[in-house]
């Protein structure tokens, strides 16, 4: 939807989202598939508390009205229509909050305590141990890149804060910054990028960001299917391995085409590869799970794969040595623990 905010949305999913709205009136109860929920939240189109399906319909109707009325609707017009309907975008709400904090003092916007609630890990430490969640590491990388002091609160089913359970169904990771709270790793990372420091972790245009996401997005789902498939070397497992190699090949070709066009000289995913971005912060934890999981469960090292995917391998070496990534990596034993649990449920 034009003008919603500067952050990526899965554009190809929007026709599906709109089809689910159909002809329902705003006071109807509309069943919302989880996939649609995720798409809308990533783009900032849905109340994060998941409480008002009617608001979702009303907001989409505003966009359809705008699209019909004018093809040249700018961001200001979009914000005006939405805010008049009581439906400001995430970015608009965050901007107002930032201005309000800034009015209270020059450092007020960043002075509030930042707490990251995330999955707890195994072992004798219990709820004090950080777990294996790559989405939580994504948020931690964003915090480290911005130099934001923060506190970690590992959570089990039994020690989540009341606001997280009541308002967000206990979803992790979750970020609390003063009185502001958000869930979903993408939204948490975007919030951090918006609120803290002048340097941006979204330094590229939307076309470059979408291309990088599309090139890398298939790897983690393919990895998960391969790691949990048992037994490890039957026909189904080999089919899953082929699926992972296909996804890696897609990323390899992306790197190759970018280099052949002469526009990329840096090691990172987006644009010319010179600047580390939120796309890298999101992807690095997932390929670290690949690095650990393949070696432990499938007896395959990522170095073994370097001959077939040399550019992907170079990318992995670059991000694994970046300080923000390196200092937030879970222990290999914790990643093995997490995937062992996932595999046991598949036996």
Give the pLDDT confidence of 73-127 residue by residue, as tens digits. Answer: 555 555 555 555 554 556 666 777 777 777 776 454 556 889 999 999 986 554 5
Of residues 22, 11, 10, 92, the one with CA closest to residue 60: 22
Domains and CATH numbers, the chain: 11-88 (no CATH), 112-195 (3.40.30.10), 206-344 (1.20.1050.10)
Of residues 4, 7, 40, the one with CA closest to residue 193: 7
Q: Is the pLDDT of residue 327 over 90?
A: yes
Mean pLDDT (whole number) for 19-27: 49
pLDDT in tens, 295-306: 999 999 988 889
Mean pLDDT (whole number) for 198-225: 90
User: What is the predicted pLDDT for the residue at 30?
Assistant: 46
User: What is the predicted pLDDT for the residue at 19?
Assistant: 58
pLDDT in tens, 54-88: 455 555 555 555 555 555 555 555 555 555 555 45
Does this model's pTM top 0.85? My answer is no
User: What is the predicted pLDDT for the residue at 24?
Assistant: 47
With 0-12 / 13-18 / 19 or more C-beta atoms within 10 angstroms meaning exposed / middle / buried, residue 209 is buried
Strand-strand pairing, 180-183 and 174-177: antiparallel
> How does residue 53 score in pLDDT terms, banded at 50, 70 and 90?
very low
Lowest mean pLDDT among 6-10, 21-25, 104-108, 295-299: 6-10
User: What is the predicted pLDDT for the residue at 91?
Assistant: 65
> How does residue 230 score in pLDDT terms, banded at 50, 70 and 90?
confident
CA distances from 22 to 44, 60, 92, 310, 337 (A): 20, 11, 27, 47, 44
Mean pLDDT (whole number) for 150-170: 89
User: What is the predicted pLDDT for the residue at 199?
Assistant: 83
Structure tokens at 208: 């470059």
Angle between helices 134-146 and 185-195 (to 10 degrees): 0
Dist CA 158 CA 63 (whole Å): 41
């Amino acid at each position: 939807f034009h003008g919603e905010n500067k952050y990526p949305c899965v554009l190809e999913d929007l026709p599906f989202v709109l089809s689910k709205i159909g002809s329902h009136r705003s006071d109807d109860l509309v069943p919302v598939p989880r996939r649609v929920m995720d798409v809308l939240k990533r783009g900032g189109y849905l109340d994060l508390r998941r409480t008002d399906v009617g608001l979702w319909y009303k907001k989409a109707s505003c966009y359809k009205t705008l699209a019909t009325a004018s093809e040249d609707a700018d961001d200001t017009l979009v914000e005006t229509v939405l805010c008049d309907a009581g439906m400001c975008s995430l970015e608009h709400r965050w901007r107002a909050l930032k201005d309000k904090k800034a009015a209270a003092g020059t450092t007020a916007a960043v002075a509030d305590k930042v707490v990251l609630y995330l999955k707890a890990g195994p072992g004798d430490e219990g709820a004090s141990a950080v777990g294996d969640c790559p989405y939580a590491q994504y948020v931690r990388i964003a915090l480290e890149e911005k130099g934001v002091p923060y506190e970690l609160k590992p959570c089990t089913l039994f020690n989540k804060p009341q606001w997280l359970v009541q308002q967000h169904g206990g979803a992790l990771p979750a970020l609390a910054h003063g009185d502001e709270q958000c869930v979903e790793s993408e939204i948490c990372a975007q919030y951090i990028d918006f609120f803290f420091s002048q340097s941006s972790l979204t330094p590229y245009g939307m076309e470059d960001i979408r291309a990088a996401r599309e090139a890398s997005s298939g790897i983690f789902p393919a990895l998960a299917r391969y790691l949990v498939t048992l037994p490890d070397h039957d026909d189904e497992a080999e089919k899953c391995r082929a699926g992972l190699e296909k996804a890696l090949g897609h990323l390899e070709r992306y790197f190759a085409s970018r280099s052949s066009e002469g526009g990329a000289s840096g090691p990172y995913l987006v644009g010319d590869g010179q600047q580390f971005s939120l796309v890298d912060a999101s992807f690095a934890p997932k390929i670290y799970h690949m690095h650990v999981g393949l070696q432990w469960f499938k007896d395959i090292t990522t170095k073994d794969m370097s001959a077939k995917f040399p550019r992907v391998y170079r990318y992995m070496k670059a991000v694994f040595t970046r300080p923000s990534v390196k200092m937030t990596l879970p222990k290999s034993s914790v990643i093995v623990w997490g995937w062992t649990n996932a595999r046991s449920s598949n036996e």
